[in-house]
Amino acid sequence: MKLLLLPGMDGTGRLFRRFVEVLPSHLTAVVASYDPQTCTSADELLGQLPRLDEPHVIVGESFSGPLAVRCAVGNANVRGVVLIASFVQPPRTFLSTLATLGPLLFRRPPPRLIVREVLLGGGDDALVDEVRDAIASVRPDVLTFRLRQLGVVDVRPELAQLHCPLLYLRARRDRLVPPTCGERIIATGARRTLIDVDTGHLIVQSRPVESAQHLEAFIRALA
């Protein structure tokens, strides 16, 4: 089975490295990446995703969850969708206000303590540095633009049209996305499964092996 991995808000795709390295050999991952220098709308990002001409499972991490849902709707080659610590409408009501602080928030890479405790729920120094470097590689105005998009996103109508199986991986210690986001998604249709992972927001980065095991079990059940 082929996987299309859609990255979180940094958009680089670099933070999937540890996850891809532990995937079983029968799964082939294509990692999408978004231009770190250009403010690109959700419609434009959707148009830039690889064409799916054969069976795929789409994995949407955080920021890219809504894109994964939109990409999957009506596409017979999408056999399943995996949402990782994601949402289909604004996860927090204050995001639009927070976006006004974007130039200050993203002027420098986030402090190591914030990355370790808020984003990862732990993690080694090398992983903390990988996260900081990925964020620092994106222009602050681009990150601000993406944060602003999160304040207005709403793909609930598309989710209602999604008929393939869906797996939601939820971080037990997520300080960014409330647990109700996953519950609401799972409640909207059949063949939808929620699994809790004991970590922070960046699930596949901090728990790559466990995440890969859940994904493999989900894909085996599709057969």
> In this predicted model, what pLDDT tens digit does every residue of 113-171 receive, in sequence order?
989 998 999 878 999 999 999 999 999 999 999 998 998 999 999 999 999 999 999 99
Confidence at residue 96, expressed as pLDDT on a 0 to 100 scale:
64
Confidence at residue 78, expressed as pLDDT on a 0 to 100 scale:
97
Residues 68-120 pLDDT 10s: 999 999 999 999 999 999 999 999 876 666 667 667 778 888 899 989 998 99
Please state the three-class secondary structure of 14-74 as a single string. Answer: HHHHHHHHCCCCCCEEEECCCCCCCCCCHHHHHHHCCCCCCCEEEEEEHHHHHHHHHHHCC
189 three-class SS: coil
Whether residue 191 is predicted with pLDDT greater than 90 in this model: the reply is yes
Superfamily of domain 2-92+153-222: Alpha/Beta hydrolase fold, catalytic domain (3.40.50.1820)
pTM: 0.95
Which positions ≥6 away from 101 have C-beta within 8 Å?
A: none
Query: If we measure between CA atoms, which residue out of 13, 2, 1 comes closest to residue 204?
Result: 13
